[in-house]
Chains A and B, each alone.
Chain A
Amino acid sequence: MKAILDIENVSKSYRLGKTAVPVLSEINLSIKEGEFAAIMGPSGSGKSTLLNIIGCLDRPTSGKIMISSVDTSSLSEPELARIRGKRIGFVFQTFNLIPRLTALKNVELPMVYQDIPREVRIKRSMMLLEMLGLKDRFDHRPSELSGGERQRVAIARALINDPEILLADEPTGNLDSKTGQEIMQIFNTLHNEGRTILMVTHDLGLAQNCDRIIRLKDGRIDDGKHG
């Protein structure tokens, strides 16, 4: 299988006054097409930072991120926006739905920014909502949905533009364990359908479902060789 994501020597540090605080150091990582990988590690180890950099929400201080052989670290702002919209699907711990918009409109949103005609948008959004068991909830606002339902809407939104890789940052972190299991079931199904998924989680039980567990510690990949 070819690699969909290649991370080469990625470092990230934040400036605090005069000192640079390193958050990620020399990360090297490769994710193959169709792989379902979990990122684990203690709080503050840089998991979210890494996922945000992969998702083009943030830029690395140094290093290269190759998504299907395109180096995103050298792209301009509008090009990054396009990659965020088309090639990456992001699922957040706090769902991050737009409160004013109905479930359907939330799901449509990434297509709106790609200038896709309304009929196509609605058709595909409804199909995804149906697949995720939310067909009869399409005109509900997020405030009228349960946590699990909200996360399912967010997953539909992440899938709408058929992205090459799905990034999920603690997608079950705000859900009870039963609902978390249900969401995990969805990810498993997507994985079985051939999707590439990279998921941050604190739950070892969930991580053990995955093909691979990547452990992060103090901004480095912990492969057992260090400390």
Chain B
Amino acid sequence: MKELNTNTKNKPSPIDEEKRDFLFITTAGLAIAGGGAFAWSMIDTMNPSKDVLALSTTEVDLSPLEEGQSLTVMWRGKPIFIRHRSESEISSADNVSVDDLPHKETDESRVKNPKWLVVVGVCSHLGCVPLGQKVGDSKGEYGGWFCPCHGSHYDTSGRIRKGPAPLNLEIPPYEFVSDDIIRIG
């Protein structure tokens, strides 16, 4: 044990700047890491929960749909438009020069089987649901869908042709599980 030295005992010991910096940086670093982890886990509670994610696939039986008829199903809370297209609808979608389109996509790239068009029924402008699914609905100038909110016209391939919407109707992920049944999501 060191001998008691009253002289040095009452003098404040010199400040060790390096040690202080080290302590400050490690403490602040840990506090920020801990605070960040806490903040993120709390914010993450607002992301889609497990029960919401569980609703993310839908199976649809297409067999009752006659040519020319449409069907609307829900997927992730959004309408999915399914149309059993007629020969003339398919050819009118096919016979457009892609260069003339605002959003350049061929009809071929938008279908798995040309008879069936499957699109998300949400206008790419500001999210309204376009008309054209029901008998008697306006189908717009291009025979597909017409969004009444701000006047966007979609063709028989669900592509934007006229109006403020910038993009074609989105194609949801789907696959044919058999000839007449598709699984969306």
Q: Are A and B physically bound partners? A: no
B residues contacting A by CB (< 8 A) are: none
